[in-house]
Amino acid sequence: MNIFKTNIIKLNAFFLPMIFLFSSVLFTTCKEEQHEPTLPFSYNVSVLLNTKILDFQLRKIDYYLDVAVIKGSKTMDSIGEYSDLPDSVFKFKDYYFNNKLVHFQINKIEYLDTIPEKTFYTALLIDQSANGNSYELRDPYNYRYENINAFLKNLSGQGHVILSACARNGELANNVLTIYGDKFISHWNKEIATNLLALTHQTGGTSSINDGLYGMVDFMAKNAPDSNRSVTVVLINKDDGKSIHSIEQIKSLAVDNHIRINFIFLSYNINFIDFRSFTGLAEASGGFCELGGIWELSSSFFMMNKLLKRDLFFYRIHTTLTIESPQYFNPNYMDVLKTVYDTNSKYDNYLYFVLEKP
Amino acid sequence: MIKLSVFSGKYIFFVCLLFLSFPVLSQRISFGVNFDGVALNYIRFSEDIVFSNRTYRAYYINKSNINFSPAMATSFGGNIDYSRFSLFFDMGIFTDPNGPVIQLNYPVAGDDYNIYYSRVKNGGYRINNVLYYKLSSPKAYKPCLGFGISRIWPIQNIEDFSTYKDFSKAWYDEYELKPNYKMDKTYNNYVLAFGYKGSDMAFIIKYNFRWNKNVQNDNYYSYLMFALYTYANFSNLRKNTLYFD
């Protein structure tokens, strides 16, 4: 029996430390609460919601811009409108045209609310072209997937989305325009996320944005209920000139069918994107515009549901624009609104706007 | 109030079987400890793409992964010998302090991928029941084949996520791949075994695999383990069979 006891002691001496060792590893592996998913950037974003001409004369234009400012954040819960901005953050730049001063006078800035829609139907149209501008240059780390996926993941029944992409002679399944699925989704699903992820490497060809956009406006007119429907375009290049549809035709189709066209411009460069035509198209159809690198626009994708439902506060900037005689304004005048948050110009926002003579 | 189920036929049968088996078990039962060292694990994920819960990313993943995994397990248990059959049962803890390393590919511009590595350290509790059949052999250590069931409770785990395969720099306690392991449920694993069994010790190679046909699109997990069993046979106590020198 003594030998048995000795063996038991040996057994304990050997195995118990091992058990404590394993137990200590187990205790360190307790589950912790999972945090909210995050996006990598948190820049503020300005969104042009509306442009209204009050009085368009030869050398004087009275107008206002409706601009929503989204306060940058990396998580859905902390995102929201920038509500306490001073008037001084909105800046227009005076300049000389043929030695005559073009002067902006901000008369009044109001902070207003919208009347929200209950839901929305939108077609996401992603320009997949790579001729001129490319995602290799503008989005080398594929932030557009994260951003758009964030929008889809936070959809949660607030609206309805269908995914599409356009390019001519590119890598897409169908030339010019590819529509993924035939039904709108109201909640994130793996199928749409998988198609979106596959688009990362399906870039190439030239931009068929005019034909693609016309096709999607037509699709929405035929397939979406006539209730707050829109096409939201992620644009990187201007049309290659081979499209059979013009901007005027798109505008006519969209306005006739009450379809808003929203633009997310992923380039500041006027050589790559026809800001005058597309901003005019958005304004005519009632859509919104935002402009920047895809990383700079991250926060706005958290607010995309609200933007599409028009459920947000915005700044109404009443302005008078004048030019000295004998110069006069183009009936399709375009300029830039700058939003300056602090002394670091890196965080400034730019918005093109078009003042079209009624 | 006594529940009616206590008087059910099945209950009475097992109670009678237990009492009747005492005289037999007391002569044939042995108690001891088991050590398992995991050599290889093979994981087959049910899906090609992992959607992150930590960020809004998604990754392409290799569906089939083989990892060398220096994991260990220890347990207390016993075995009952009857003729050529030997039933091993044990309950204990296991830990895989390094965890399997899985490569995840995030597509970026230019047809390239950013490569990340995920490892999920894990540990938990389990019981094993394996029935062995001893093959005829004149030697002291008899070859045996076994089949059994292992029940594993929800596994505690921590994920490390890195751009370096050696995890020299990493993000710790992340949720990138971890939810896809689906370790939060109790599972039945199946065990196939081959080894040599002596009167007080056994060396076994076990293949432990998860097969749950009731869960659709479930991942397939399997482990190849080397096991050492040492046990004290009560009928031979006076012969001093336990040595650990």
Q: At B200, is the secondary structure helix, strand, or coil?
A: coil
Lowest mean pLDDT among A253-262, A294-303, A324-333, B23-32: B23-32
Residue B22 confidence (pLDDT): 61
**pTM of the predicted structure, to 2 decimals:** 0.84
Structure tokens at A343: 């002394």
Residue B201 forms contact with A (CB below 8 Å): no
Tens of pLDDT, residue by residue over A78-137, are 999 998 899 999 999 999 999 999 999 999 999 999 889 999 999 999 999 999 899 999
Pick the closest to residue A152 from A143, A167, A162 (CA basis): A162
How far is Cα of residue B112 from the mean position of the Cα atoms in its chain? 38
Q: Are strands A349-356 and A90-91 parallel, antiparallel or unpaired?
A: unpaired
Give, as one character, the DSSP assignment of residue A190.
H
A vs B, Cβ pairs < 8 A, gives 108
Residue type, B229: Y
Q: Which residue has the higher pLDDT, A286 or B12?
A: A286
The amino acid sitting at B137 is S
The rounded distance, in Å, linking the Cα atoms of A188 and A210 is 28
A9–chain B Cβ distance below 8 A for any pair: no
Per-residue pLDDT at A29: 46
pLDDT < 70: residue spans in chain B: 1-8, 18-27, 212-215, 233-245
Burial class (CB in 10 A: 0-12, 13-18, 19+), A201: middle
- Per the CB < 8 Å rule, is B240 touching A3? yes
A29 CB near a chain B CB, below 8 Å?
yes
- CB contact under 8 Å between A4 and B237, yes or no, is yes
**Averaged over A60-79, what is the pLDDT?**
94
CA A68 from chain centre, in angstroms, equals 13
Residue A37: partners with Cβ closer than 8 Å, 6 or more residues away: A75, A76, A150, A153, B52, B53, B54, B55, B56
Radius of gyration of chain A from its Cα atoms, rounded to whole angstroms: 26
Residue of B nearest to A33 (CA): B175
Tokens for A350, please give them. 């730019």
d(CA A44, CA A54): 29
Cα(A333)–Cα(A92) distance, integer angstroms? 14
The SS3 assignment for B144 reads strand
CA distance A84 to chain B (A): 29
Say which amino acid occupies B57.
R
C-alpha to C-alpha distance for B85 and B185, rounded to whole angstroms: 32
Is A18's Cβ below 8 Å from some Cβ in B? yes
Q: Is the peptide bond before B23 cis (omega within 30 degrees of 0)?
A: no
Answer whether A142's CB lies under 8 Å from A293's CB.
no
Give yes or no for B23 touching A (CB within 8 A).
no
Segment among A254-258, A296-300, B38-42 with least mean pLDDT: B38-42
Distance CA B206, CA B144 (A): 12
Kindly state the average pLDDT of the residues A211-219.
97
Neighbouring CB atoms inside 10 A of A33's CB total 4
Residues written for chain A: 358
CA–CA distance, B108 with A132 (Å, rounded to integer): 19
Q: What is the pLDDT of residue A22?
A: 55
Chain B hits for A135, CB-CB cut-off 8 Å, are: 109
Q: Token digits for B23?
A: 């005289």
- The second-level CATH assignment, the architecture, of B30-239 is Beta Barrel (2.40)
- Calpha distance B177→B170 (Å, rounded): 14
- Average pLDDT of the residues in A165-173: 95
In this complex, the residue of A19, A26, A150 whose CB is nearest that of residue B156 is A26
Q: Which of B56, B97, B107 is closest, CB to CB, to A153?
A: B56
Contact yes or no for A11 and B55 at CB 8 A: no
B114, B134 Cβ separation under 8 angstroms: no
Chain A contact for B108, CB < 8 A?
Answer: yes
Residues 308-337 of chain A with CB under 8 A from chain B are: none
What mean pLDDT, rounded, does chain A reach?
91
Nearest residue on chain A to B52, judged by CA atoms? A37
- Whether the pLDDT of residue A25 is over 60: the answer is no
**Fold category of A121-311 in CATH:** Rossmann fold (3.40.50)
In B132-231, alpha helices (H): 178-181
Q: Are A11 and B242 inside 8 Å of each other by CB?
A: yes
Cα separation of B130 and B148, whole Å?
Answer: 4
User: Are B53 and A25 a contacting pair at CB < 8 A?
Assistant: no
- The residues near B222 (Cβ < 8 Å, ≥ 6 apart) are B41, B42, B43, B207, B208, B209, B210
Identify which of A18, A29, A142 has the shortest CB distance to residue B121: A29
Closest CA to B148 of B164, B167, B133: B133
Burial A269-282 (b: 16+ CB within 10 A, else e): eeebbbbbbbbbbb
**Cβ neighbours around A256 below 10 Å, total:** 10
Q: What is the pLDDT of residue B245?
A: 37
Distances, alpha carbon A127 to alpha carbons A19, A122, A204, A212, A300, in Å: 59, 16, 10, 9, 19
Whether residues B54 and A35 touch (CB distance < 8 A) is answered with yes
Distance (Å, rounded) from C-alpha A322 to C-alpha A104?
7
B18 vs A323, residue with greater confidence: A323
A16 touches chain B (CB under 8 A): no
Chain A's closest residue to B55, CA to CA, is A37
Contact between chains at A7 and B114 (C-beta distance less than 8 A): no
B109/A15 touch (CB, cutoff 8 Å), yes or no: no
The verdict on B91 touching A (C-beta cutoff 8 Å) is: no
Of A39, A147, A197, the CB nearest to B49: A197
The answer to whether the CB atoms of A193 and B58 lie below 8 A apart is yes
Residues of B in contact with A139 (CB under 8 A): 109
Q: What's the token pair of residue A161?
A: 């989305």
Disruptive mutation site among B56, B104, B108, B234 for chain A (greatest number of A CBs within 10 Å) = B56
For residues A133 and A167, the answer to whether their CB atoms sit within 8 Å is no
pLDDT of residue A8: 52
Tell me the C-alpha distance between B4 and B1, whole Å.
9
Spans of all domains in chain A? 45-114+314-356, 121-311
Q: Does B150 touch chain A (CB under 8 A)?
A: no
What's residue B59's pLDDT? 96
CB contact under 8 A, A190 and B158: no
| C-beta of residue A165 within 8 angstroms of C-beta of residue A126 | yes
Q: What is the pLDDT of residue B24?
A: 60
Residues of A in contact with B229 (CB under 8 A): none
Nearest to A235 by CA among A129, A91, A101: A129
